[in-house]
Amino acid sequence: MQELTGRLMSLDPEAGEGLRVVAHFDALVDAQVGLEALLRAAVMLSGCPAGYADQAHGVRIAADGRRHDHGRQPPSDALTRTTADGVVWLERSGRRHPTDAMVLERLALAVGIGGRRRVASDLDPLAVLVEPESPQGAQRVALARLRLRPDQLLRIWAVPDDHDLPAGPPSVITGSGAARARLVLTDDRNRLGDPRRAGRGIEVPAVAAAESARTAVIALRLAGDLFPTVDAGSLGVLVRLADVPDDHGDVTALAELIKERSWAEDTVEALINTDSLRAAAKLLGIHHATLQARVRTVQERLGYGPDTPLGAHRLAAAFLINRLRQR
């Protein structure tokens, strides 16, 4: 499909974009993702807010990826398409894009299929468990099929969706865009095989597995070359940085520095994860004097640095938000 899309894009860009929309939603349907993931895919493909509403509730995903509860009707000027149980929409301001109709059509189809799957008895139990909107009845069935007590403590791991997971632990691919990952139910890192990156979710009762999955994906997005495994439990309140707007001046300035200096990203990551310049230099495998020169550059460009407690916290927050923005 990717090869066909590429060929079609070179011959007819508009048709190629339409085929890309179809392929993306087909992959999400195959992965049995939930409503929120489908709406996020629509936002990513269209570049504008998307939503769904039925007689019980409404959900809207803004262009920046934030979720909002919504009324039972779409905005009056939205582009809409009905589903079996409700309506989906795009909030396009200005001229419509050529693929808007296709995005709406495939979103409506995917939501309809997802609704039928949610009541199907053969739905992947882990997919039900990590979906925040799963009905309580479906959750109870999923827990029973996984042989879990509601109060049993567990953790969810997240690895790249293309990772070849060894046979054994239950897993499911979920999400879209930056949040797309393979979620694995295990507390044993060794059962993941050897993924290039991994995120460990917080420990929660089984009925709250969706929160462990959410934090596992955040941890995966923060993992990098220096620290390929990130534990969300060690981040504490810092996991909330995933909900913070990423257009702050500190984040923009750091992103520009990382773009201009090849050493900047690893250097800042080492600085915020060690307790001294000497330890950071050892982690990076460079001379202490070399690191000192880099730190001076960071301070000159950003206007602050890791030499004070507040500067270190500020640098860490900017780094984490920037990495989340990249992924």
- Name the DSSP class of 71: -
Is the pTM higher than 0.75? The answer reads no
Shared domain for 205 and 313, answered yes or no, is no
Q: Which of 65, 88, 118 is the last residue of a domain?
A: 118
Boundary of a domain, candidates 85, 118, 151? 118
H helix intervals, 55-146? 100-118, 125-129, 136-145
Can you give the pLDDT at residue 260? Answer: 93
Same-domain status, 22 and 38: yes
Residues 91 and 143 in one domain: no
> From residue 42, how far is each of 122, 144, 199, 324 by CA, in Å?
26, 33, 25, 20
Are residue 206 and residue 248 in the same domain, yes or no?
A: no
Where is the domain boundary, 223, 242, 261?
A: 242
Question: What's the pLDDT at 14?
Answer: 55
Comparing CA positions, the residue from 41, 32, 40 lying closest to residue 60 is 40
Q: Note down pLDDT in tens along the chain; length 327 residues.
A: 444 444 444 444 455 677 888 988 988 888 778 888 899 999 999 999 999 987 667 788 888 877 776 666 888 889 999 987 789 999 998 888 889 999 999 999 998 887 544 443 446 789 889 988 777 777 888 899 999 999 999 999 999 988 888 888 898 887 766 667 899 999 888 899 989 999 999 999 999 999 999 999 999 999 998 999 999 999 999 998 888 888 889 999 999 999 999 999 999 999 999 999 999 999 999 999 999 999 999 999 999 999 899 999 999 999 999 998 887
pLDDT on residue 183: 93
**Domain carrying residue 263:** 244-326
Looking at the structure, do residues 172 and 227 belong to the same domain, yes or no?
A: yes
CA torsion sign, 236 to 242 to 248 to 249? positive
Q: Are residues 289 and 209 in the same domain?
A: no
Both 192 and 212 in one domain: the answer is: yes
CATH number at residue 263: 1.10.10.2840
Whether residues 104 and 140 share a domain: the answer is: no
| Pair (144, 53) in one structural domain | no
3-state secondary structure of 268: helix
Q: Are residues 83 and 102 in the same domain?
A: yes
Please report the pLDDT score of residue 68 as a whole number. Answer: 76
What is the number of structural domains in the chain? Answer: 3
> Do 78 and 178 belong together in one domain?
no
Is residue 128 within 8 Å of 206, Cβ to Cβ? no
Same domain for 234 and 315? no
What pLDDT sits at residue 8? 41
